[in-house]
Amino acid sequence: MDTKQSLAALIADTIEECFMGVEGLPTADDIAGFLEIPPQKEMGDYAFPCFKLSKVLRKGPPVIASMLAGAVGENDLARAEQMGGYLNFFLQRDNFAQKTLETVLAAGEDYGKGDEGAGKTVCLDYSSINIAKRFHIGHLSTTMLGQSLSRIYQFLGYKTVGINHLGDWGTQFGKLIYAYKTWGEKEDVEKRGVEALTELYVKFHDEAEKDPSLDDEGRRWFKAIEDGNEEALELFNWFKALTLRDTQRVYDLLGVKFDSYNGEAFYNDKMGRVIDELKAKNLLTVSEGASIVDLDQDETGMPPCLILKKDGATLYATRDIAAALWRKDEYDFDKCLYVVAYQQDLHFRQWFKVVEKMGYEWAKDLVHVAFGMISYEGQSLSTRKGHVVFLEDLLHSAIEKARAIIEEKSPNLENKDEVARQVGIGAVIYADLQNGRIKDINFCWDDVLSFDGETGPYVQYTHARCCSALRKAAELEPVEPDYSALSDDYAQELLRQLSRFPETVREAAKRYEPSIITRAVTELCKAYNKFYYENRIIVDEAGVREARIRLTRAVKNTIKTGLYLIGMEAPERM
């Protein structure tokens, strides 16, 4: 049991003793959720708002707080004081240090891990690259948010299913087949992959402006794909394989893996079920020739959801509904997360509502995890304007820049190339997951690769600093720690950061927000560096030294775990 849970149990027992027989008293779990961190350190380590009890006990919060403070008094865990309507706790510093470190070190790199997700499945739809197009920086957020959330949920015991919902359907593939057959060379396309396919696609559009009949050729070849034409399917599948080969290099650099690559094409023969069900449930109506589902705009604020065009063609909503039905049947998910930019908010709200109107209770388990846009060095990214930054190029550039910095700062470092990869890639990931996901991101090299301030290299360097101290300590004989050496303000702040880590992980999962972990790890690093500058680790007093070594080890393990959860590696030397 960690300190917060112990405190919650103490408060629950005290309330029960003071107000025996009263119905509706909060449980220890309730109280753990009510506990707050006071805004100023002078006000204690935790505060319990007695306003939560006022209605049940029919007493003023200050009166309740005073009664509870008198009953708790001072014990091995904490000293209680009334402050207005709050019951504030000042932890016993030696005991707090001992309990926290014993808990953290016993768990090692599993500290914060849980089993609350045992037997539950979370599907995560993220990255969703487009076939025959290069992987650009605009796909970074969806990819890293999805990967981080997958790791967080796994850490909490859930089974996760990572789905790369490929953009692999539409007339553009018919156009690409025509372009390849007319101007392409197999050897060149095989060698250059997506780059060659992109050039062919651009050429098609250039030529189609001169000869609009080429669009008919594109539609004819796409119809051939739909009809299962052998040649068309062979070329279509080859284009997909080339794209996945190219993008796999990026995924390998980022450490990203998927369980499924079922994209739009996979659901082409599964949309009939959606249409049939909507008709059977009298939800599908015709409006101006198109088939729609009315969403009660006056009540929901949403216009009708378009299911079929006038010509009978399906739309993204149709495919997404078909995919959701199939995934529920296949995986029986408890949640299905869609990590997609916020511009698609209406789209998801509409088809989620359609699933609800179809009578599926699990529609509430469909979640749009929205995120903001990314710009590069202050320029918004637009294919039409040419401001496109390809992700593979960006990552290699980050590695090269990190290598140059390492060469300057640590010329004698071993494995410079490996560390440069860890630092360069980590810097990009950290920059993406540093702030709340809904915020727009401006990617600036000077900020991203700085070793000062709130950056990936700063956090990784703190981990390496911990490792350095532990290597020196490895030569010394372990002794009984003197936990009173950790009663200063710097050590206590560091211990508070450590003690909150399990709660941080759960909050990140609850809010679908990896940045909560990113910020927590950053604050842990800042607290450790302050402690490090104020307290030498390797000192002559054996008990003091051992306590500080144990604290350093606990911090090192927790930083590494936190970095793993957001998709970063933790170098041991920098």
Known catalytic residues are: 133, 136, 139
Measured CA distances, 134 to 198, 265, 418, 523 (Å): 8, 19, 26, 36
Is the distance from CB of 451 to CB of 385 less than 8 angstroms? no
Provide the residue type at 15 as one letter: I
DSSP string, 200-232: HHHHHHHHHHH-THHHHHHHHHHHHHHTT-HHH
Q: What does the angle CA 408 – CA 411 – CA 414 come to, to the nearest 5 degrees?
A: 135
Give the closest residue to 287 by CA, choosing from 317, 307, 313, 315: 307
Give the closest residue to 527 by CA, choosing from 557, 502, 552: 552
Q: Which residues pair with 260 in a beta bridge?
A: 163
Rounded to whole angstroms, how far apart are CA atoms 166 and 243? 10
Provide the residue type at 53 as one letter: L
Measured CA distances, 187 to 204, 241, 245, 375 (Å): 19, 15, 16, 36
- Three-state SS string over 288-308 comes to CCEEEECCCHHHHCCCCEEEE
CA 111, 117, 119, 121 dihedral sign is: negative
Give the closest residue to 150 by CA, choosing from 164, 131, 139, 136: 164
Indicate the DSSP class of residue 381: P
Indicate the DSSP class of residue 25: P
Neighbour tally for 157: CB within 10 Å: 14
Give the closest residue to 346 by CA, choosing from 307, 308, 317: 317
Q: How remote is the C-alpha of 539 from its chain's centroid? A: 40
Burial of 414 (0-12, 13-18, 19+ CB in 10 A): exposed
Is the distance from CB of 46 to CB of 35 less than 8 angstroms? yes
Q: Which residues pair with 335 in a beta bridge?
A: 122
The alpha helices in 281-415, defined as continuous H runs, are 297-300, 316-331, 345-357, 391-409
Indicate the DSSP class of residue 122: E
Is the distance from CB of 326 to CB of 333 less than 8 angstroms? no
- Three-state SS string over 515-540 comes to HHHHHHHHHHHHHHHHHHHHCCCCCC
**Between 489-499 and 93-107, two packed helices, what is the crossing angle to 10 degrees?**
40
Phi and psi at 369, nearest 5°, equal: -90, 95
Place of tokens 């699933």: 355
Rounded to whole angstroms, how far apart are CA atoms 48 and 383? 53
SS3 78: strand
Place of tokens 């809010």: 511
